[in-house]
Structure 1
Amino acid sequence: MNKMTLGAAVLAAWCGPHAMAAESLHVTIGGTATAHALPAANASCVAVPSGALPPGAAPAGAAPGPNRSPALAWSAGPAGTRSYALTMVDLDVPADLTLIGKAGTTIARDAPRRDFVHWVLADIPQGITSLAEGADGDGQPAGGEPLTRTPHGLRGQNGFAAFLEDGPHGGYLGPCPPSNDLRVHRYRITVYALDTERLGVKGAFTRADLLAAAQGRVLASGTAEVDYAVNPAAKP
C-alpha cells in the first residue's frame, strides 16, 4: 500500500461515509490561527521570580495563573453539520512525570514526550462558532468545573482527573508546563463539525471517549496551535 492509499484508508476509517466530503475548518485562538504565545491569562500557572515562591508551591518556579479559557472561533461546518466538539492537547508533556519540578533536574528538549488533555467539550450547538474568553473556565475551582451540560456544550473530563483525584475536572484547565523543562510546549485545539446533535457521551467522558463516539460522524475538522512555557530558558 503506497502512502496516498494509506492516507485515504485512514481518512475513510475516521470519517466513514463522509470521507470523500471531509473539509477543513478555519480555527483561531485569540484571533490567530498561527503559532503564537498563549497569554498568561489563559494559563493555570505562571512564572515567578526565583526566591518569590510561596511555601509548598509546585512546580518550582511557578504560581497559580488566572486560567481563563481562551477566546476561540471557527468557520461554519459544511451542509449537514448539526453540532461541534473540541479538544485541547499539550503535545509536549514529559513521558517521565517524576522529572516535573524535581529539584536540581532539568528536562532536556529532546526528552521523550506524551500528550496531555486540557479541554474536552462535546455537543456544541450548531449555531455556535465561537467562544468568548473565560466561557468554559475562569479561575481554578477545587476539582475543576462540574461535568455538566452548558449552553455552549457538554463538558468532558480533562487529564488532571487522572492524577489529582480531587474532583471531576471538567471544563478548561490551562497550560502549566514544568518550570524545569527546556522545551516550549505546544497546545493544539481541534474543532470537529459533526452530523449529529448529540454524540451520546456522558458522565466522566474523556477525549478518547469523544473521538470513539465521533467515528464516522466527522464532516470537517480544523486545528490551531499556541505555545507556552514557564521556564524562561525554554526553546521550541
Structure 2
Amino acid sequence: MKVTINSWADGAPIPEKFAFGKIPAEGRFETSANINPAINWADAPEGTKSFAVIMHDPDVPSSGDDVNQEGKIVPADLPRVDFYHWVLVNISAATREIPEGADSLGVTPGGKTAGQRSYGKTGNNSYTDWFAGDADMGGDYGGYDGPCPPWNDSIVHHYHFTVYALDMEQVDLEGAFTGADALAAIDAHVLAKASHMGTYSMNRDMRAEVAE
C-alpha cells in the first residue's frame, strides 16, 4: 500500500498554507491558511472494505508549562505525546483521494463541526483539548486542522498522515470521537497501512526547517 501527498516530498517540510499557524513578518504567531492537503493512496489489499485517515504529531510537549512563553524554551528531552490533527473514518473502499481543501479552507474559531461528509466521517482533533476553556477559541474541533507547534520548541515536529485499509465497512463511532477512539476501534481490523510524513517548526531559530 502507498500513500502520496504531492505538495511535499515524504519527510520534507510542510508548506505553511497547510498549517494552522505560521511565523509572521513580525511577532511570534499568526494564523495560516489551514487548508488540508490532497492525499492519495493506492495498492490496497484484497478484502479492503473501507479506509481511515489519521494525521498525528508525536512530538507535542507533555507539559505546557514552558509552551509559547517569552524567555523560555521547550527542552528537547521533555517527554512528548500524540496530538491528532485529522481523524476520518468510514471512507468508501472505492475512494482513493481526499482533495485539497475538501475538509478545511481556513481556521474556524471554535472549530468545525465533526460528522458525516461525502468522503467519510470526521471525528474531533486535539485542538478541542488544547483550546478548552479559551473564551475566543474554545469548542469542538472536527475535521482537519494543521500544524501549529510551539514557537519556542527546540525540536522540529513530525506530522504523519496515515491511511488504514480496513476489513470492515463501518466503524461504529458516534458523537465527539477522538483519534485515540478511532485507533482503538480499528485496531483489530487493519489489513494494511501506509504513511506520508512532513515536518514543521515555528521557531525562528530553526527557520531553515520551516516551509516557505
Name the one with the larger helix percent. Answer: 1
Matched, 1:219 2:191: yes
SS of the aligned residue for 1:66 comes to coil
Q: In 2 relative to 1, CA 122–211 (structure 1 residues): closer, same or farther, beyond 3 Å?
A: same
Q: How far apart in 2 are the matches of 1:206 and 1:154?
A: 12
The match for 1:117 among 68, 71, 84 is 84
1:21-36 to 2 correspondence within 5 Å? 25-30=1-6, 34-36=10-12
Matched to 2:162, the amino acid is T
Q: Which has the larger radius of gyration?
A: 1
CA distances 1:88-134 after superposition (whole Å, capped 9, x unpaired) = 11121112212111111012333322211111000011111111111
The match for 1:43 among 19, 33, 36 is 19
Misfit runs of 4+, over 6 Å: none
The match for 1:178 among 138, 142, 150 is 150
Q: CA RMSD in A?
A: 1.6
The match for 2:29 among 39, 62, 65 is 62
1:200-219 to 2 correspondence within 5 Å? 200-219=172-191
Q: How far apart in 2 are the matches of 1:145 and 1:125?
A: 22
Matched, 1:106 2:68: no
TM-score (norm 1): 0.81
| 1:31–1:72 Cα contact (<8 Å) kept | no
| 1:27–1:33 Cα contact (<8 Å) kept | no
Gaps of 5+ in 2: 133-137
TM-score (norm 2): 0.90
2:60 match: 93
CA distances 1:59-100 after superposition (whole Å, capped 9, x unpaired) = xx1100100011211114111111100111112111221211
2:167 match: 195
SS of the aligned residue for 1:215 comes to helix
Tell me the percent identity.
37
The match for 2:96 among 129, 138, 145 is 129
Number of residues of Structure 1 aligned to a counterpart in Structure 2: 203
Q: How far apart in 2 are the matches of 1:215 and 1:175?
A: 25
| 2:53–2:87 Cα contact (<8 Å) kept | yes
Matched to 1:203, the amino acid is G
| 2:165–2:191 Cα contact (<8 Å) kept | yes
Q: In 2 relative to 1, CA 100–114 (structure 1 residues): closer, same or farther, beyond 3 Å?
A: same
Deviation at 1:29, TM superposition (A): 2.1
2:135 match: none
Gaps of 5+ in 1: 1-24, 54-60
